[in-house]
Amino acid sequence: MLNAEPQDFICDFCHSSWAEDRPMIEGHRGSLICGPCLSMACREVLIGGGGVDARNGVGCTLCLQTNPVRHWASPVDELVVACRECIERSARLLSRDTESGWIAPTA
């Protein structure tokens, strides 16, 4: 975060900027998902088995792939989605980052 301001880091899913209690995980091309969004995505897709299918031609914002897996859609823009694999990967990375204080939801 050298020479960067919190407002330089904006979550692609809720459009909030980075904060102490809003850690971010980076995807491809500087795309970002924040801790609170990741928690919602985990609950809905990983735990709840919900989510949406990738829409035609609209891939995962984080990996740019259109995999045939369930996706979590942003609450503010339903075309912004995160695939199950990115949710799992991001949750693994963020929970390993002890400074983030983020804990993967279990229910």
- Amino acid identity of residue 24, one-letter, is M
Instruction: Give Cβ neighbours of residue 94 (< 8 Å, ≥ 6 apart).
Output: 23, 25, 35, 38, 100, 102, 104
Site string for Zn ion, 18-37 (x = CB under 5 A): ----------------x--x
Which strands, in side-by-side order, build the sheet including 52-53? 52-53, 70-73, 81-83
Q: Which is nearer to Zn ion, 46 or 62 (CB)?
A: 62
Q: Please give the Cα distance from 74 to 44 (Å, whole number).
A: 12
Instruction: Establish if 86 lies at the interface with Zn ion (CB under 5 A).
Output: yes
In the beta sheet, which residues pair with residue 24?
34
Q: Give me the least distance between CB of 55 and Zn ion, in Å please.
A: 14
Return the residues of window 51-70 that contact Zn ion according to CB under 5 A: 60, 62-63
Return the residues of window 1-20 that contact Zn ion according to CB under 5 A: 11, 13-14
Instruction: Establish if 46 lies at the interface with Zn ion (CB under 5 A).
Output: no
Part of the chain binding Zn ion (CB under 5 A), chosen from 1-9, 39-47, 49-57, 76-84: 76-84
Helices (H), the chain: 35-41, 84-96
Instruction: Establish if 81 lies at the interface with Zn ion (CB under 5 A).
Output: no
Q: Which is nearer to Zn ion, 83 or 91 (CB)?
A: 83
